[in-house]
Amino acid sequence: MAKKTRMVLIGGFLGAGKTTLINKMAQQLMSEKRRIGIITNDQGQLLVDTEFIKVRGIDVEEVPGGCFCCNFPKLIENAERLVDNVAPEYIIAEPVGSCTDLIATVTLPLKKYYGDSFSTAPLIVLIDGPKLMENAFDKDTLGGYLRSHQAEEAEILVITKTDLLGKDDIVSLEKKLKGMNPDADLIRYSAVSNEGFEKIMDVLGSNKTTGRRPVEVDYDKYADAEAELGWYNGVFLFNSKAYDAYDLSMAMLRDLAGKYSSKDIAHAKIALTSSQSHTKISLIGNEFSIGGVHGSRFGKDESQLNFNARIVSEPDALRRSIRETVEKVMKAKNIEYRMKFDDCFSPGRPNPTHRLV
């Protein structure tokens, strides 16, 4: 019998570092000549993250228009397509950052109904270390409720961005997480220093499977927490003789940051792609970060700008505000552009295909 494909879910709130980690895992596995497939997921489509993975030559499928839990058959369809096309040893899947209750709705159903095809790893949840320091997990807020539930249901908890934290801070965060979820294994991880990376890879390599009990969740609160976010996805096309992709993305994100309270900015990201360059820049709260550059940071000629933002806002207002930002910055830079597509909405109430409790 063929070996089962190992299915690994990397959850965690918006901006916690899922795509960054998944890309590193993929690079490592590919350098060892192991076959791997990736599934990205979002409430919208045409994702910055899918672009980010694709330009790196990794096989990727996108489950757009809803999360894995509410589109479970789509997740399976994409996984089976990867199996047919690539026969991967590993499939790494990134759920929507505002999703929780993944044990009951995704990992246990995978194990129960598709256990013959896939070996589903324990649920890995990334916790944004600096955000945990800032009390963003405070259950009195809707966003905090979601983040906390994600932490509580994890089987493996990974504190990310430890390069931005002091040693004492990390120890106190670990204590805090142990209090929230005493049974999960804890890993410290930094994409910058690579601390903890091997430990995460060990979870892939082991044959441990998911199997913890789901943690109770209030679906009304969960729905409200998702609904307070405006979810913007846009694609813009332009042609410019030469531009600095960092400068262009930063100008837009800076303009956007000026319009919202930092606590409301879950994650805004811009990918710029030309034939010779691909860059991804993020804004999380009031922190900017460079997600990566592939090729050069200097683009030219025909280019595409993907703009994704998840910000606490009424959707129409968010769409207007992003269109204005793009217009303002492109005008200042003397770049003509056209909008190919944009869309903005608030996620609907989660309605999972399966829920095993």
Ligand X SMILES: Nc1nc2c(ncn2[C@@H]2O[C@H](COP(=O)(O)OP(=O)(O)OP(=O)(O)O)[C@@H](O)[C@H]2O)c(=O)[nH]1
Site string for Mg ion, 14-33 (x = CB under 5 A): ----xx--------------
> Between helices 219-227 and 142-153, what is the axis angle to 10°?
120
Interface residue with ligand X, options 15, 66, 109, 196 (CB under 6 A): 15
Site string for Mg ion, 35-74 (x = CB under 5 A): --------------x-------------------------
Beta carbon of residue 17, minimum distance to Mg ion (angstroms, whole number): 8
Binding-residue total with Mg ion (CB under 5 A): 3
Distance CA 350, CA 345 (A): 14
191 near ligand X, judged by CB under 6 A: yes
What are the C-alpha distances in Å from 65 to residues 19, 47, 236, 273, 340? 18, 11, 20, 23, 18
Helix (H) or strand (E) holding 231: strand 229-244
16 near ligand X, judged by CB under 6 A: yes
138 near ligand X, judged by CB under 6 A: no
Interface residue with ligand X, options 71, 190, 279, 303 (CB under 6 A): 190
Question: Nearest 5°: CA angle at 177, between 175 and 182?
Answer: 95
Nearest position to ligand X, beta carbon: 97
Quick one: which of 56, 20, 17 has its CA closest to 36? 56
Quick one: which of 258, 256, 251 has its CA closest to 268? 256
By C-beta, is 119 or 319 nearer to ligand X?
Answer: 319
Quick one: which of 214, 314, 323, 307 has its CA closest to 269? 307
289 near ligand X, judged by CB under 6 A: yes
Answer for the pair 120, 211: CB distance below 8 angstroms, yes or no: no
By C-beta, is 18 or 238 nearer to Mg ion?
Answer: 18
Binding site for ligand X (CB under 6 A): 12, 14-20, 49, 97, 160-161, 163-164, 190-192, 267, 282, 289, 291
